[in-house]
Amino acid sequence: MSEIRIMRIGHRPDRDKRVTTHVALSSRALGASGICVDTYDPKLEEGIRSVADRFGGSYTIETGVKWREAVGKFDGTVVHLTMYGQRMDEALPKIPRDKDLMVIVGAEKVPPEVYQRADFNVSVGNQPHSEIAALAIFLYCFTGGSSLYSDRDGKMTVIPNERGKTVVENIPR
């Protein structure tokens, strides 16, 4: 599968810090390689880099990215998640798996230009819900959930079990 990048548009650090953090964490868990956020937010960068450092993988974050420029120079398929788009079950078979993918997730009303630039405007249901849920459902369906339990060679590993919490520190190789 090709690389998946997330573009977060409209991030407001005072208001959206938890939501954007969860957009990044969910996308990381579900196979994205990184996120670009249009508003500069060093605390967000620090938090996400800390998770990637502890739990492994090569997930990247960059804030203060001009979304028009990032989308304009992106050489791949652009998917915009919106409640007003084409049904996900109809769009998924049409989205190429052999090209890099940029998934645009808005924090507030996105400019009409986003709808025009996107190769696919995709709705994950037709009821109001969070962008975190939409992104997680979309990525799970697009990737088949292949990254959920992958070993990322991190400093820490969560061991699934029926009861309790087990986190182990990995011995450096």
Q: What is the mean pLDDT of the chain?
A: 92
Determine whether 150 is exposed, middle or buried from the number of CB atoms within 10 Å of its CB (0-12, 13-18, 19+): exposed
Distance CA 17, CA 24 (A): 11
- Confidence label for 118 from pLDDT (cuts 50, 70 and 90): very high
Mean predicted confidence (pLDDT) in 89-118? 95
Query: For residue 166, is it within any domain?
Result: no
Distance CA 90, CA 79 (A): 13
Q: What is the DSSP string of the chain?
A: ---EEEEEES--HHHHHHHHHHHHHHHHHTT--EEEESS--HHHHHHHHHHHHHH-S--EEEES--HHHHHHH--SEEEEEEEEEEEHHHHGGGS-SSS-EEEEEESSPPPHHHHHH-SEEEES-SS---HHHHHHHHHHHHHTTTTTT-----SEEE---SSS--EEEPPP-
Distance CA 95, CA 93 (A): 6
- Confidence label for 171 from pLDDT (cuts 50, 70 and 90): confident
Query: For residue 97, is it within any domain?
Result: yes
Q: Name the β-bridge partners of 46.
A: none
Per-residue pLDDT at 173 exceeds 80 = no
Res 160: pLDDT: 86
Query: For residue 133, is it within any domain?
Result: yes
Mean predicted confidence (pLDDT) in 89-104? 97
Query: For residue 121, is it within any domain?
Result: yes
Domain count, the chain: 1
pTM: 0.92
Higher pLDDT, 99 or 168: 99
Map tokens 């996900």 to a residue: 88
pLDDT in tens, 11-20: 888 888 899 9
CATH for 79: 3.40.1280.10
Q: Which domain holds residue 53?
A: 4-147
Query: For residue 100, is it within any domain?
Result: yes
**Cα-based distances in Å from 15 to 51, 67, 130, 142, 157:** 21, 19, 14, 29, 31
Query: For residue 20, is it within any domain?
Result: yes
Res 2: pLDDT: 87
Contact 37, 65 (CB under 8 A): yes
Mean predicted confidence (pLDDT) in 80-101? 96
pLDDT in tens, 25-83: 999 999 999 999 999 999 999 999 999 999 988 999 999 999 999 999 999 999 999 98
Per-residue pLDDT at 124 exceeds 80 = yes
Query: For residue 155, is it within any domain?
Result: no
Res 46: pLDDT: 96
Query: For residue 173, is it within any domain?
Result: no
Mean predicted confidence (pLDDT) in 105-114? 91
